[in-house]
Chains A and B, each alone.
Chain A
Amino acid sequence: MTQASAATLGFLRRRRRAHRSPQQRSDRFTGLYTVGLYTAIAAWTGFQALRQGPARGGAALWLTGGGLARVATVALLLALLATLRFATWQGPVVFTAPEVQWLLSSPLPRAELVRARLGRGLLAGAAAGASLGLAAFVLLEAELAVPAWPLLAATLGGLVAFGVLAAALGWLVESSPGTARVVLLASPLVLAAAVAAWLGGAVAAGTDPWSGPWGWAAGPLVAAAGGRDPGWPLQAVLLAAVTVAAVAAAWRTAARVTLEELERRAGTRAGLGASLFMGDPRGAALLRHQAVRGLAGVRRLRLRHPRRRWLALPWRDGLGLLRAPGRVGWALVLCASGVLAVAAAPGRRLLAAGAVVAAYLGAARLVEPLRAEADQPDASRQLPWRWGDLILLHTVTPILVLTAIGLAVTAALALAGLVPVTALAMAAAACLPVAVALVWSAAIAGQRGRLGLDQFLTASTLGELAGPIYLLRWFATGPLVAVAVLLGPILVLQDAVGSPPRRTQAAVTNAASLLVTALAIQGIWIRSRQPPD
């Protein structure tokens, strides 16, 4: 580092330290000490509990018989994907806005300033790997009772190296918009391939030299845990080599990042901090979405506008979904998993409630234009509808899309033999009203606008117990409404499974009556709403 850089960074460090009061330093030490102490106590208690648990034997056999290799490989691949996706909008090197404005734009060598921050990023990667490694060691040692030192060396060494590798690769993504674009576009495909391979049983019970860094990090761990992995020394060498190469590449390319890129990330970080401090996950999600929008490229899709006035909002919502087809994909995955769960175990009530929540989350992905309306209600002033009517019109397209998804899933289940032919017509007929119930539940939650200071002030006046319940209710309004509307009819139908035809028919009538009543209440309630403040 040049003298000028060292002097400037040293000056900054000294000034910042001077502004930290002894109380702040003491608080920081107390915080770290408390976290360390509780982590150690939890690890020891968990270790003892697992070691004395009665389940040893079956689980150990499964782990050493290939389960550990499968789980570790997939988990590490997912962790690497998550790190790389994180690096498309934040990453291991993020400065604050004042640092970008005053430090990075000064005539100091930028590479040196970046390297100082990159070093911290690599250390953070190593620390995250060490934490994961320690947790894995505690769990495996308690379950398998193998020699401790080799297992500790494998979990710590492998995962620390993997953490450093992930941070270095993260920097390579962060410093190159082209690479970031590839990561953004390819990661869903990699994820889908990994899930398909897992479900199809293609993930090997052991790891091989060609299994990638995630497999190389898992190999020594599997061997130390008593599993079969004769190639682990080669994998350890490969992991070390690729980590060193990635760190060297990251160090060499420290000057490659543009000031514009660092400024963009600094702005996102500042907004993110404010959103999280305010407990506003919607704001944080919008910031992330905005940060990667430029990278993914804009889909220049056109949809010819209709001629009828009442079709204006369904057309607008259709455009929104065309520009974000991933929302439809998520809705399909979430709804299908919910329906599959109910079809596989029709009598289990808790599972049915979980399925409703999953399907609700799918519906909520489709009402983004409605939520955008609630984010800035003044924008809707150019539209001639009352707020309640506007919200109802915004639900037309999501309802149609969700109904289509429901019909497709029903057809797929029928083909797989999970829906009896006798129930097929009823299942298909239920798709539309269920879609209406789910989308209107999402609309009720979505039209509230963002969580703001008002809600926190209200919560603070309600006391220690009622306040958190109030905030929890605020967050969980949508799922709660969906469960309240749909669980009744589902339970009525569940009770009638296997009953004589007359009783089944009565149950269907009762369930339909319950659903229609609930839908009427939902519709009237939405229509009576005013725009959020």
Chain B
Amino acid sequence: MYHYKRTMMIAILVCAGIFLLSLVMGRFFIPVQEVWNILLSRFLVIPITWDASMYNVVMEIRLPRVLGAILVGVALAVSGTAYQGVFRNDLVSPDLLGVSHGASVGACLGILLHLSLYGVAVCAFIGGIVAVCLTLLLPRLIQNQSRIVLVLCGIIVSGFMSAIIGLLKYIADPDTELQDIVYWQLGSLAKVTWDNLYYVLPIIVVGTIAIVALRWRLNILSLSDQEAQSLGVNVQRERIVIIGISTLLTAAAVCLSGTIGWVGLVIPHLSRMLVGHDHKKLIPATIVVSASFLMVADLFARALTTAEIPLGILCGFIGTPFFAWVLYKQRRYF
């Protein structure tokens, strides 16, 4: 317990540091003192020592973007941890279960139909739910519930959803819609504004609070069905609730940033290495680690080169070797 508290303290401090750094750094450097004052000026009356452009960069460009990074990271990683718990399978994630791609199909349809952002979000959620249902249904048809079959079925559904996305791109208007879809699908936080945030913020905050509240329950659901039932848990009902919340979280993240892979797989593993497997500690750790990770990744995405690298691509480059390392570390449990 002592170890956990100390780890969390350090993680939260690091996270706060990265938050400030993300507002300071960028193409246009703003001193920490000014950033701090600008943030405070929202709550306190303090003398203005900054110029209008600084204020705009911090409040209108960087802050929504950094908040977007936190929300997307938390949504993907918390849903990833929850999926891994309820499926008793630490190889699954929103990407591997097909949820991300399903939500993308929904969102693409929304873009093609010129729906409002809210409409796009609803479509993304429906797409995610359809995808996760298909992924759960396939192993039943095959009559093999092993964890590797679940992962393979997720890959099948992801592939199918990718094919639909390809079809939607093909029929999209190349001058307007296609650009929107392609850019959005690469995974980026560049277009995050306060308006977008207002739509998804409540969903992600409420969903995350729900998973945090249910976090000890995830321990029980990660046992075999019969064990959990013998302990007095209505396994089917609780599992459906958690899958629903996780899918909602993933869909909200996809709406905000497009598909950003690997976060939902890598961060739960990284957090487990820090605080162990008990979901009571794991979920809070996941939140802090994922927020830090995505803020850093987004900082690299916009500051590494003069042209911005889409975040989805960057996360792929960081996530894949990292996951290979995770598999190596845990090799004796496979």
Partners in one complex: no
List chain B positions with a Cβ less than 8 A from chain A. none
